[in-house]
Structure 1
Amino acid sequence: MEVTASLAELLEEREHLLEIAQWRFGSPATAERVVQETYRRWYALAPAERDEVEPRSWLTQLASTIELVGLEPVNPLVHRFALACTLGDVPGLRATLAGDVTLITDTGGHLRTTPHPMQGADQVATHAATLLTRHPGTHLSTEPVNGHPGLILRQAARAVAVITLTTTPTEIETIYIVLNPSKLTPWHRVVVA
């Protein structure tokens, strides 16, 4: 029971910090970086230092004042991939991919795709550009996805695709695209009235 309560408190605290950081910076991806840095600094404290402060207040104050100068930037390769997708730039998209890149998608979403893995930079670049480019009213943003570089394709506040990328320093090796609406609910944005 205590473990469940602690987990619920941690998740609530994390949501609270994300809200603060998103309010400050206006970007879910930046908010995620701020929260990760906030927790990194918390766990870098010695146990005696942590005992001297009230955790929620300390974390809230840091998240609301932290500066991003010097933090590790979001993977520029992911930004190049996102821009190429947005523009429908197949050669630009191809330039971000490993020659033997693999694309894996699920099915059941509103976007048409193949249920079988696809391999090879030319085929993957063409398919990814078709799948993720210029759908009316959609927006593609770079955001961490389960701790990996990723992108979210949203129509208004609703996620229609979640993309996870595995990368080397110079190229994308694997692209996982989730399209099934029942798996996308956690990625919908809350619209504040």
Structure 2
Amino acid sequence: MTTRSGPGPARPDPGLDAIMGERRQLTNIAYRLLGSLAEAEDAVQEAYARWYAMTPRRRDAIESPGAWLTTVTSRICLNLLGSARARRETYVGAWIPEPLPERTEWSAARPDAVTVDPADRVTLDESVGLAFLVVLESMTPAERVAFVLHDVFCHSFAEVAAIVGRTPAACRQLASSARRRIRASRPTATPAAQHASVVRDFKRAWEARDIDALIALLDPDATATADGGGLATTFPHPIEGGDQIAHAWIEIARRRPADMTFLERTVNGQPGLVAHQNGATVTVFAFDVAGARIRRIWVIRNPEKLHHWPRG
């Protein structure tokens, strides 16, 4: 982006670095709001398009471009969340948020990794774990926006109110309701090392087809949910109960192609597993671990949600 004040070569826009420096924060907000990196990137791109569609005089009159971009991006996401509910009602099978690899895997997955702006990558922390994002999916669009902006990104309720079109008091209630949902669904935090140990033991038991060991690692009320997006063969309905999940995973092991390998990898900042075939990631497994047992397993096989994973 350049500017021209008169004859001669164009000169760099002095405000460009500051404006584009907001991109990482905007992408982080949008991904948590939408659960889809592709949709998040589109929302951020639309916000920037609206910024540059304004006249220079209008842009100069905006005191805080970062706040303006955050407001516009959040409103775009709010509108998308409303339409997403209708789209997901016709989605084939369960809809699970798009899983993200850790940075070294992400870089290896993209042929243009050297030139990709780091701002396009999402910061992986607790607020982007699959368990957290799945709970966000259960909220109304307004609850989700109020909670993410206030509790995760520390925006005031006055700022949130300007985005969702409600009073600050109403936004406070929305965030409180969302907070209750989070508390009701989240187990006691499991240390990362213990989480990784449980996932590793699960992988070993699965590869050994040791059903007793699998059952011992699964909570009796565990649930396994798969997202194939209608594009990949998978179990169409959630599997309820540790025993049932263990038997299903033994069947998966029996049908496993000879060239498929299971690897321990980070999934949205938490220890998980991925299935590789011919060097490409074909399935991602995310786990919700409470203590020494697995409460939930999410299986993502929809190819459209694996774009950022290694493809061989």
For residues 114-157 of structure 1, the C-alpha deviation after alignment (integer angstroms, 9 at most, x for no partner) is 21111111110111232255421011011110012210011021
For residues 82-140 of structure 1, the C-alpha deviation after alignment (integer angstroms, 9 at most, x for no partner) is 11122222222111100000000012454x43211111111101112322554210110
Name the count of aligned residue pairs: 136
Cα separation, 2, equivalents of 1:93 and 1:130: 13
Q: Is the 8 A contact 2:223 2:241 kept in 1?
A: yes
Cα separation, 1, equivalents of 2:207 and 2:223: 20
Q: Is the 8 A contact 1:164 1:176 kept in 2?
A: yes
Q: Does 1:173 align with 2:295?
A: yes
Helix, strand or coil at the partner of 1:177: strand
Cα separation, 1, equivalents of 2:243 and 2:193: 31
Q: Does 1:184 align with 2:202?
A: no
Greater RCO between the two (CA within 8 Å, min separation 6)? 2
Q: Does 1:139 align with 2:157?
A: no
Q: Which residue of 2 aligns with 1:102?
A: 223
Q: Which residue of 2 aligns with 1:55?
A: none
Q: Which residue of 1 aligns with 2:236?
A: 115
Q: 2:204 aligns with which of 83, 97, 109?
A: 83
Percent identity over the alignment is 29
Helix, strand or coil at the partner of 2:251: helix
For residues 2-59 of structure 1, the C-alpha deviation after alignment (integer angstroms, 9 at most, x for no partner) is 225667xxxxxx559x77xxxxxxxxxxxxxxxx9xxxxxxxxxxxxxxxxxxxxxxx
Helix, strand or coil at the partner of 2:258: coil
Task: Please list every run of at least 4 consecutive aligned residues from structure 1 whose deviation after the TM superposition is greater than 4 angstroms.
Answer: 4-7, 71-74
Cα separation, 2, equivalents of 1:109 and 1:89: 30
**Paired amino acid for 2:205:** A
**Paired amino acid for 2:284:** V
Helix, strand or coil at the partner of 1:126: helix
User: Cα distance, 1:185 vs. partner?
Assistant: 2.4
Q: Which residue of 2 aligns with 1:159?
A: 281
Please give the TM-score of this superposition, normalised by the length of structure 2: 0.38
Helix, strand or coil at the partner of 1:186: coil
CA, structure 1 residues 105+5, in 2 after alignment: closer, same or farther (shift >3 Å)? Answer: closer
Cα separation, 2, equivalents of 1:119 and 1:141: 25
Q: Is the 8 A contact 2:196 2:272 kept in 1?
A: no
CA, structure 1 residues 95+137, in 2 after alignment: closer, same or farther (shift >3 Å)? Answer: same
Please give the TM-score of this superposition, normalised by the length of structure 1: 0.59
CA, structure 1 residues 169+2, in 2 after alignment: closer, same or farther (shift >3 Å)? Answer: same
Unaligned stretches of 5+ residues in structure 1: 8-13, 20-35, 37-70
Q: Is the 8 A contact 1:159 1:185 kept in 2?
A: no
Helix, strand or coil at the partner of 2:275: strand
Q: Is the 8 A contact 1:149 1:166 kept in 2?
A: no
Aligned residue runs from structure 1 range 49-68, under 5 A:
none
Q: Which residue of 1 aligns with 2:21?
A: 3
